[in-house]
Chains A and B, each alone.
Chain A
Amino acid sequence: MGLLHPKATFPLSLVFLFLFFLMASAEEEFLEELLLKPLPDRKVLAHFHFQNEAPLAAHSFARHHHLFPKSISQLVKKFHIKTMELSFTQGRWNYERWGGFDPISSHNAKPPGVELWAVFDVPQHQVDASWKNLTHSLSGLFCASINFLESSTSYSAPEWAFQSALGSLRYGTLPREAVCTENLTPWLKLLPCRDKAGLSSLMDRPSIYRSFYHSQRLHLAMPTAASNGSKSGIILEQALTVVLQPDNQKAGIDHVSTKIQPSWSLSSIFGRKISGRCVVAKLSNIYLHVERGPVTQLENLQKKTSKIAANDTGPEDYRRNSVFELSVTPERVHTELEKSSSSLYEYSIKDYKDIEQFDLGLTWKHPVVWSSPHAPLFASRFLMGSGNERGAIAISLKSTEVTEGLAAANNVEERCKLQVNVLQIVPWYVKVYYHTLQLLVDERPQVLTDFVERMRVSPSEDKVSPGVMELVLQFPCEMKSAVLSIEFDKGFLHIDEYPPDANQGFDIPSAIISFPDYHAGLQFLDKSQSKSPLLSKLQERSPVLSYTEVLLVPLTTPDFSMPYNVITITCTVFALYFGSLLNVLRRRVGEEERLLKNKEAKKGVFFRRLLTNVSAKLRGRPSESPLPPPSSSSLFVNSKLIFRVLIVAGIAVAWQYYSQ
């Protein structure tokens, strides 16, 4: 609009104003939030969450969007996407230290590389076509090689272990994909303020890519209206989860020796401050999540120092206590329902102006040690065996304090069961023998059928599809450890199928372990009078989910420089076989030679006879055969020769004629 002539802009702007009102009535909204959380291992988690909602216009002529990215809405319309999630991740979420039982980890901990899954709203037979088109579109949108997911060897259709979507779900991962700033820029372009204003202005590229783990996620959902079951709109959720190490040197104290957690502030971890909200954002909040561990310790300390905690409240108390100190007073504090559990400090950056900048800092005053809540079972996966011929994949599940507590609690009742869903996808060149699936519970081999509730296997097809194994296992709660192992042969590929760095090995994508009986969700006292999507996400009861490690399988390689040698040598051997065998078969020795001679003597060749005669005369000896050759036979030979020549010539002419 700025390019237009001012006079021309006036009526135009009127039109736009009108349109704007139309859109406003349709309620497109954008919300931005940031969650900060100190992690037990001296790191800080920053979780940016942007939500963009657009109503789905019933009359599809409304192609214009006020805030919502047009490319995404076109994508949804074109491919009939019901739900879709795309994540770019670098680093691995450390379930042991950073927790596996909270909503952040089960939603935002993703396998390394690219993970894409989508549920389509199309008939079964069109799902694959939609998926292929979608991967190409996304590949273009996000500057990533998502189009490699197009080939049927790289995606699969898990039926129930991941999410139940009745066959219209497709799932694919690219563990090797390098994630960098060229993927983040298009992702930021989907935000109305990009990274120019608001919370996203914190996203300083060097500090993000220096992090231990970062995962940018894009989630598309089409919630159905409760009343008529039709889709009410598109919700685009964009989340960036970063685990950062606060800079110790800045503080000047050696925190390792003092065991005090490093203090940090927004400016120290991101190198930037927030100068204001994104003006189109309906909500712009920052939360600080302090886990149960420090809170409990704080309460203990307060009890010790006999400070009366009965009438706590008072934001100032929250800001400054004996364990830590916040640089800004929170606007509101949410505490969990249970006593002595995590609390959430809320800041709103509605009021900050350009001049004064918002910078939240946390200074620890007392050494605190705690651990994040873990998933019921701690899952890890590893390879067994050596050499490049075969091996085995083992998934080990170890009980954590959650299950131990359960076992203790449920001792009185009937046997408590722990349900575990396992989804394991292997590429086709890892040829899995499903009949070798073994289960060790508490280090003793067990009969599989005692523990496997349900099992679905779709074996891999060479060069066509990956192998998918979905398992539902039921373990007793008192179980200490379980190991699932399955053997495989390593495939041998054609030289064209190896990637350029073939000796690096091939990746087996992460297995997904989920616990459908457990739900990660924080219950806050004040049942959401706020309209924060991040808070409602945190409170949502979602199943606990964890990804295992990506496995690197080295495969044997042929010699890539040898195709010509191999072709020529092999063909030589075949020629040797063919030639020598034919030679043996048509060789004539002894009596056959004599027979041949006789025949020759009978028929004779005129010229040769002549030649021998001449040579004999030259030597001055009488010729061996004084009889002159019969002219008729020589004529016959000549005519035969002429006939042969004619035949060959005829064939050559015919060949020439037909080949043109």
Chain B
Amino acid sequence: MKRKKVQWFWTWVLGSVAMRLILLYFPKNLNLSLRPEVSTPVTSLRRLAEGYWLKQSSLSPYAGSMYHGSPLLLTLLGPLTVTRVEGQPDHLLCSLIFVVADVACAMLICGAGEKLQVAYSSSLQFLGLHNLSEDSELLPSGDIAALVYLWNPFTVVACVGLSTSAIENLMVVLSLYGACSRLAPLAAFGWVMATHMSLYPAILIVPVILLLGYGPDAPPRKLFWRRKNLEVGNSTCSDSYSAEEEKNQLKMANVFSLRPVVLFLFWTLLWSSYVLFLCSIYVQQYGGLRELFRRTYGFILTVQDLSPNIGVLWYFFAEVFDFFRNFFLLVFHGNILLMIAPLALRLNHRPCFLAFVYIAISSMLKSYPSVGDSALYLGLLGLFAYELKDMNFSFFLFSGYVGVSLLSPVMHNLWIWRGTGNANFYFATAITYTCFQIILVVESVSAMLNHDRMLTKLYTAKLQNVKS
């Protein structure tokens, strides 16, 4: 079956690359690399360059509370921060790497989307909802997601602003792609690297395992069971061969296959010990792995840097009384963890969507959020364009995102540069942004559950038709 592409797909992709390249040549990257929305203490390339400089002058790259990223990223990008090409912008090579990472990320999203779509429409076919499956095939969601990711202003800004979140996003998507196409080593690699770089993707282990165990997103499992019951009842009148085949398919859809999961866990162990080994070599004379974890994960978890960003935690921890600090650190990180189980229970038949929700939640509640994180979940949102087409408040959300992304720099300018506003102005936009993200997550989950309900309803109606 030849799949339909979005018209001019490759033209759009090339167009986005060209736009990034043009933006790179603006003087000083349009100052994007210094924007608080783009470069957080964890993702800033400037801090990475400082870490590399410290390393070159035989100090620990983590000395001086500047660099908090991974040593592997430092070895990859560090040398590129000091190489200058004559007559070209300062960080050209790094920027090119980020452009490549963005494109690769989009291609992986596209690939994962195609896999998801094939699986989804075949499972709809299997349930006998043929018109729905045709509907879903009309919308090439993988291509849409890829283009949304590439043309999202957030992604462009993060890429041109030299934020390392492009590479973190690539690793997350790599892991999802690997899980969708049941490549356990790839999924394990992506997950290990993403966790190593920014810690929060660790919670993606749940959707990745579900993906490997149950296969890509499908309608609720209950429907397949009902169909099975129906099959058993009707087996006498249907063709025996086709019944046998469909039973196999049923097995595929419903049985948690342990083999890829075990393989995934094995590869995870392998990759993580490999990464830890490399890191321990790197930080050997600077305090070892313990120091590394303190400087990277510890820095993320304890929210030491209070410089403003688009999240709310910086202002909260700048204002909260010191003796409550630890309590609120626990509460806020607990908020991310608390939602893992309920979501996993309710959405276990849609692991990819589950991964999207996890990514959205963690990028909303993480200690140093940046637009690069938002770009990833907004891109992934495109994968579920068909299922979420009935989402509430989508126009409201869109205008909210546009409004906040226009107002936030203005408020920042008023507060920091002009001194006419104060911190509350900027904090208000951050609160609004968080609220919009919350609405997005809640509404998308609700729309997905409604979609499932719709499927169930249709299916039961169909069954009753068949019975009667």
Contact = CB atoms under 8 A, between A and B. Distances in A.
A and B associate: yes
B127 interface: no
A434 B53 contact: yes
Interface in B301-331: 304-308, 312, 314-322, 331
Contacts of B289: none
Interface stretch (B16-24, B58-66, B367-375): B58-66
B273 interface: no
Contact of B319 (A389, A390, A495, A590): A495
Interface string A567-594: 1011001101110111011110111100
Contacts of A577: 335, 364-365, 434, 438, 441-442
Interface in A579-618: 580-582, 584-587, 589-592
Interface residues of B, number: 61
B34 interface: yes
Contacts of B435: 573, 576
B442 A496 contact: no
A433 B66 contact: yes
Interface string A462-500: 110001000000000000000000000101111110000
Contacts of B322: 494, 496
B236 interface: no
A590 B454 CA distance: 9
A591 B308 CA distance: 47
Interface in A550-575: 556-559, 562-563, 566-567, 569-570, 573-574
Nearest to A578: B335
A322 interface: no
Interface in B361-387: 364-365
B338 interface: yes
B46 interface: yes
Interface stretch (B176-184, B227-235, B242-250, B416-424): B416-424
A557 B438 contact: no
Given A386-B417, A491-B307, A591-B460, A459 B319 contact: no
Contact of A459 (B63, B331, B449): B63
A435 B55 CA distance: 11
B307 A559 contact: no
Nearest to B304: A462
Chain A interface size, as a band, is 35 or more
A388 interface: yes
Interface string A430-448: 0101110000000000000
Contacts of B50: 433-435
Interface string A619-640: 0000000000000000000000
Given A460-B65, A590-B457, A581 B339 contact: yes
Nearest to A503: B419
A562 B319 contact: yes
Given A388-B416, A582-B342, A590-B453, A434 B438 contact: no
B34 A389 contact: yes
A384 interface: no
Interface in A368-395: 386-390
Nearest to B338: A578
A492 to B, nearest CB: 4
B316 A460 contact: no
Contacts of B57: 455, 457
Contacts of B64: 458-461, 467
Nearest to A431: B66
A110 B419 CA distance: 34
Contact of A492 (B318, B320, B338, B453): B318
Nearest to B454: A590
A583 to B, nearest CB: 8
A494 B308 CA distance: 12
A590 B304 CA distance: 48
Given A433-B66, A581-B441, A584-B442, A566 B52 contact: no
25 contacts: A387-B416, A388-B419, A433-B66, A435-B49, A435-B50, A435-B52, A457-B54, A457-B57, A459-B65, A460-B65, A491-B307, A492-B314, A494-B318, A556-B416, A557-B423, A558-B315, A559-B423, A566-B315, A566-B427, A573-B434, A574-B332, A577-B364, A578-B339, A581-B445, A582-B342
Closest 9 CB pairs of A and B: A459-B64, A435-B53, A462-B65, A387-B417, A563-B319, A492-B306, A566-B319, A584-B446, A577-B438
Given A557-B422, A590-B457, 14 more contacts: A457-B57, A491-B307, A495-B318, A557-B423, A563-B319, A567-B316, A573-B434, A577-B365, A577-B442, A581-B441, A584-B445, A586-B342, A589-B453, A590-B453
Interface of A: 386-390, 428, 431, 433-435, 455, 457-463, 467, 489, 491-496, 556-559, 562-563, 566-567, 569-570, 573-574, 576-578, 580-582, 584-587, 589-592
Interface of B: 34, 36, 46, 49-50, 52-54, 57, 59, 63-66, 304-308, 312, 314-322, 331-332, 335, 338-339, 342-343, 346, 364-365, 415-417, 419, 422-424, 427, 431, 434-435, 438, 441-442, 445-446, 449-450, 453, 456-457, 460
